[in-house]
Each structure stands twice: as structure tokens, then as C-alpha cells.
Amino acid sequence: MLIRVSVLVLLLFCTHSFASQCNSSQVKLQVLGSGGPELDDGRNSSGYLIWYQNKARVLIDAGPGSSIEYGKSGAEFADLQGMLLTHLHVDHSADLAAYIKGSYFTSRNTNLELFGPAANNLMPATSEYLQRLMGDKGAFAYLKEYVNKRDEADYKVIATDVPLVRGQTFQYSLSDEITAKATFVHHGPVAAVAWRVELAGCSIVFSGDMSNQFEVLDDIASEADLLVASNAVPDNASGAAINLHMTPSTIALIAKHAQVKQLLLSHFMKRTLSIQNETLGIIRAKYPGPIKLATDGLVVSL
């Protein structure tokens, strides 16, 4: 009996350590935009890039200015294996057309998969957003070959809408080595999802913008090597702000309960940029792990 228990414990231990073994030398996160929608914060809007084996493989959000930082990063557009949008607010999605237009001058010739939320009463589905931008009757219909490919474009953007089902996680394979998982989060009336990207035994989670009213981030962020959390409002926020965003205290509790190994605060607005030390104090009182503050261009190791 003792032997059997020992073997079981050993198996459990082995399984656990294998599952959480992050090959951190192969994976990096780069911040392309650490700001929100404000014009005068001196920061790009939301955008992140996951590097794997020194290639830019996954883009998360496409906020204004993020494509400029993408260019500065030295990333090759042809290397991207997926674009993941958390939601379609302007500060997370308005550079999409800029990336696609810019790609004309790159060597990309394989299709590009784009993932984002399905529609709700307020927002179009990600696939519809793409059509309204670059479809046959889109504002940028001159780029329609990239959406409804005929002959001229070298590749096509293929959009997948993540269903908005509370409490469920949807999984997508971006390549043999990279998996992306999404779950519906509460961001006021906006259709929004959080993303977890897994590769080389590592996991990086992006809260996107969300309040914690659905209480789902703990699950999708469980034991993540890095949680990127939007720090758009202070602890004393109220009204619309609190219906859209999580406070520092909430971020701290999620990071603690999910046992994330590292926390990156991002998506700052002037009301949080001005009190970063106070915010760090609030979070450190509850969450014991390392915390970094995002800046545009910052490269974060796992």
C-alpha cells in the first residue's frame, strides 16, 4: 500500500512539474503599446508581441501606434502565426488595417489567422469588423484581396469569432507548438475575451479590458508564467469606470488566487500613471510575486 501511494505521489509530482516547466529561454513578451485611448499620455494604445525562438509569432491586440512599435521591434510580419484581439474598442483594434496594408511590403505568403470576440448587441463580430474595414464594401475596399482573396494578394486574413459563453474556454491551435485559449470576460456592454497563449511549456495570459464581474480570470490565468493586466482605473474608481475595469485590489487578488508567477501591469491611463507607486503598494500587500510596469517596447522575460 505504501509503495502504491508513493508511486502515485511521484506520478502526480512528475505530471505537475512537467506541465509547468517553462522553457523561458525560448519565449519573450514585448510590449508594443502600454497606454489606453488617451491622446496625451505619450504612449501607444494596446498591443503585445510574443517572441518564440527569436521569431515574432503571436500579436495580441492592434491598438493605435502598436504597428509603429512592431516595426521598431525588428519583427518580420511573415513570421506571425496569429493575431488575437481582446475586443474591438478603438484602442485595441484600430491598427489592424495598418498592419495588413503594411504587410504588402513584406514577404508574407501564408494565410494569417485573426481571432477575436463574436458579436453582441453593441459590437460587431471580429469577422464582421474585418469585412467592414476591408471587405468588398469596406472603408478600405482597396485592400479587399486580403479578405476575400482572389488573385492579387499573397495571402488572406481568416477571421474566427470566439463565442461569448460565460464560463467556457475555447481553444485554438496557431501552430504545432502554440495554442491560444479564450474566455468571455465582462467589460461593461462590450464583447470582450481574455487570452491565454501556451508555448514551450510557458503560458502568458492577457486580461484585456475587463471588470471581474464574471470571475473567470482566476481560471484562465491559473499558474500562468506571466499575467498582463490592464491597470486603467485606481482603487477608488466608481460608476462607468468600475463597470469596465478591474481595480488594483482586484488585480492583486486574481494574481494571488491564480498563483501567477509574474505580473505585468499595462494599459495605463493618466489616472493610474500618476499613482504607480501607490498601485504597486496595494498589489504587493496581497500578491507576493514579482510585478513589472509596462512601457512601450519593453521586453519581458519569463
- For Zn ion, the binding residues (CB under 5 A) are 36, 91, 209
Provide φ and ψ at 151, rounded to 5°. -115, -35
Nearer to Zn ion, 68 or 241 (CB): 241
> Least distance from C-beta 288 to Zn ion, angstroms?
28
CA dist., res. 195 & res. 197, Å (int): 6
The CA-based angle 285-250-238, given to 5 degrees, is 115
Nearer to Zn ion, 52 or 70 (CB): 70
- Quote the CA–CA distance of 176 and 165 in Å, as a whole number: 26
**Maximal C-alpha separation, the chain:** 72
DSSP 103: G
Q: How far is the CB of 46 from Zn ion (least distance, A)?
A: 6
Residue among 46 and 183 whose Cβ is closer to Zn ion: 46
Residue 75 beta carbon to Zn ion: minimum distance, rounded to whole angstroms = 22
Among residues 36 and 138, whose Cβ is nearest to Zn ion? Answer: 36
Burial class (CB in 10 A: 0-12, 13-18, 19+), 240: exposed
CB of 200 to Zn ion, least distance (A): 29
Choose between 198 and 209: whose C-beta lies nearer to Zn ion: 209
Give me the residue label for grid cell 485595441: 92
b/e sequence 40-62, b meaning 16+ C-beta within 10 Å = eeebbbbbbbbbbeeebbbbbbb
**Backbone angles phi and psi of 9, in degrees to 5:** -60, -45
Of 101, 32, 102, nearest to 60 by C-alpha is 32
Nearer to Zn ion, 91 or 161 (CB): 91
Q: Smallest distance from the beta carbon of 61 to Zn ion, in angstroms? A: 9
- Minimal distance, residue 92 CB to Zn ion, in Å: 5
